[in-house]
Structure 1
Amino acid sequence: MAQSEGKRWGELNNSEWVQVNLEKKRRKKRGQPDEPVSEIFNLPLPPDFEAEINKKFPACEKLLCMRKILTESDVSKKQARLNMLCHELETFRFLNDEETGDLRQGKGTEVPVMHKSITRGVKESPMSFFQRDVRKDSHPPERVSSSYVFTKGWNSLVSEDGLKKGDVIQCWAFRDGEKLVGMALVKEDRSVNLASSHHHAW
């Protein structure tokens, strides 16, 4: 029996909360064709990102957190946020237990985010990063929708990087020892026609 069974959302410890999201990911992928592990975890950082990150954080661990197809709401100036569903993440290792707990408790943070401006190349911009939970007070944990969200600075990044609906981006995180020191949002050299296809985050 799962340790989280019968508990309310607020009663889960961080490890149980992660397991709930991993199980949601497994359920969602049932019936979908498996993609090779190398498709996800052997993706390298582009050389220009690698150079900038190694210059700033020479000893950091680089973790690919998610690949995401941008939706209309992701690039809407009115929405002004990038929403990443927690059960679509590839790993939770980019946060330690304390960082995970702070985000679950509503303590947002500001992180330096590397991205590629059309005119200035790879640059760093500060962005707000927090967790949002939907239905946490009225549903069991497996039906709560949790997301990690970038807000402050997101509209400027969309404009600077020329992002649009259907673009595929990678979200990376960089750890130096026990500390999350930065993140990166990398646009892939392709896009997806969301109007004619049914796609999901990898």
Structure 2
Amino acid sequence: MGRTKPPRLDGESEDDYYMRLIQKLANEKLALFARYQMEQQQEEEERKEVATNLLSLKKSKKSSLKRKQRDFDEDDVIDIKIKNKKKKKVGVTTTNKAEQRPVVVNKVTEGVKEFIKNKMKGSDLKLLIQKTLYASDLNPGQNRLNMPANQLETNANDFLTADEMRKLTDKDKKSGLEVDKDKKSGVEVGILGPNLRMYDRMLELKIWDMPCTKNYVLISNWYNFVKEHYNFLKKGTLIQVWAFRLNEQLCLALVCPDHEDDNVAFEENLHDGENDDVAVAASASEV
């Protein structure tokens, strides 16, 4: 059955009407292509991560240790990982949390928490994820920060309201089936940068359902945010994303815990009692 054409807008000419339909179709195809690229890059990044972790494990073991069976190399483990990935149900990923770096707690992370609670008067502060930035997270063509659901430190129900969760998991009213990921609505969020300055544009949080997992993604102005914080956000950088509330508005804070000794702007804003960006944050929460 063919797709029903949307109605023509009031005063819209026939040429404009068909041009709008063509543009909409083109945008949908581009979005699908971008999702496919992300899936391919994510799988490749997982392969590299497993290989790196296995090499580190091998080096840490004593050379005198005899293996009961033949030695496993990186491709053995990666192939097993990929085969298992195909067997697992949707919503479950193969990334092992034990392989990830423990959550960092230092003066940067504690300073951000203090700043949000005491100076911004934020509430409901929760750590969402700690992850390494990949090239795909910084790609202007993809314009998104990927946060796999299985790597979240906080359950979605603990940082999202019921209304926000409904927006992120829209279902077709007639069929009750999941809406295509490119047509799902998102939740607007304000974001605090790693220099403790509130970004002056809103971002959008969405859920993308992938074949083997579910990802939370930050889109809409993400790459503009990256460009304004290029000295922090580079490939391989460890980041933490925290969720909090300002006047009931969902906001996020992006923290770079490894920038402990070279973040002058962070130190200045942390100890600035009259930080003007708090007002910016408050106004953003009223959007």
Match of 2:131 in 1: 68
Q: Which runs of 5+ in 1 are unaligned?
A: 1-19, 136-142, 191-202
How far did residue 96 of structure 1 move? Answer: 3.0
**Per the alignment, do residues 89 and 174 of structure 1 end up closer, same or farther by CA in structure 2, a change over 3 Å counting?**
same
The one-character-per-residue Cα deviations of 1:11-69 (angstroms, maximum 9, x if unpaired) are xxxxxxxxx85xx36x6438x4697xxx43966734256325533334x1210010010
**Per the alignment, do residues 94 and 189 of structure 1 end up closer, same or farther by CA in structure 2, a change over 3 Å counting?**
same
Question: Percent identity over the alignment?
Answer: 29
How far did residue 122 of structure 1 move? Answer: 1.9
Of the two, which has the highest radius of gyration? 2
User: How many residue pairs align between the two structures?
Assistant: 150
Q: Which runs of 5+ in 2 are unaligned?
A: 1-89, 171-183, 260-287
Is the contact made by 1:64 and 1:171 (CA closer than 8 Å) also made in structure 2?
yes
2: distance between equivalents of 1:182 and 1:33? 29
Are 1:127 and 2:200 matched, yes or no? no
**Per the alignment, do residues 157 and 53 of structure 1 end up closer, same or farther by CA in structure 2, a change over 3 Å counting?**
farther
**Per the alignment, do residues 52 and 122 of structure 1 end up closer, same or farther by CA in structure 2, a change over 3 Å counting?**
same
The one-character-per-residue Cα deviations of 1:86-127 (angstroms, maximum 9, x if unpaired) are 1111112211333222211122021110013xxxx3211221
1: distance between equivalents of 2:238 and 2:210? 25
3-state SS, counterpart of residue 135 of structure 2: coil
Match of 1:161 in 2: 229
Is the contact made by 1:41 and 1:64 (CA closer than 8 Å) also made in structure 2?
no
Q: Which has the higher contact order (CA 8 A, sep 6+)?
A: 1
Task: Give the TM-score of the pair, scaled to structure 1.
Answer: 0.62
2: distance between equivalents of 1:48 and 1:99? 25
Look up the equivalent residue of 1:123 and give its one-letter code. Answer: R
How far did residue 188 of structure 1 move? Answer: 2.3
Match of 1:56 in 2: 120
Match of 1:113 in 2: 191
Match of 1:13 in 2: none
The CA RMSD measured in Å over matched residues stands at: 2.9
2: distance between equivalents of 1:128 and 1:170? 18
Is the contact made by 1:108 and 1:128 (CA closer than 8 Å) also made in structure 2?
yes
Is the contact made by 1:49 and 1:122 (CA closer than 8 Å) also made in structure 2?
no
Q: What does 1:1-202 correspond to in 2, within 5 Å?
A: 24=92, 28-29=95-96, 32=98, 39-40=102-103, 45-47=109-111, 50-52=114-116, 54-58=118-122, 60-92=123-155, 93-105=158-170, 106-116=184-194, 121-125=195-199, 126-135=202-211, 143=212, 145-162=213-230, 163-175=233-245, 179-189=248-258
**Per the alignment, do residues 34 and 184 of structure 1 end up closer, same or farther by CA in structure 2, a change over 3 Å counting?**
closer
**Per the alignment, do residues 129 and 33 of structure 1 end up closer, same or farther by CA in structure 2, a change over 3 Å counting?**
closer
2: distance between equivalents of 1:80 and 1:107? 17
Look up the equivalent residue of 1:73 and give its one-letter code. Answer: S
3-state SS, counterpart of residue 124 of structure 1: coil
2: distance between equivalents of 1:176 and 1:113? 11
**Per the alignment, do residues 180 and 95 of structure 1 end up closer, same or farther by CA in structure 2, a change over 3 Å counting?**
farther
From the two aligned structures, give the one with the greater strand fraction. 1
Is the contact made by 1:173 and 1:180 (CA closer than 8 Å) also made in structure 2?
no
2: distance between equivalents of 1:57 and 1:104? 30
How far did residue 159 of structure 1 move? Answer: 1.6
Is the contact made by 2:112 and 2:196 (CA closer than 8 Å) also made in structure 1?
yes
Look up the equivalent residue of 1:47 and give its one-letter code. Answer: G
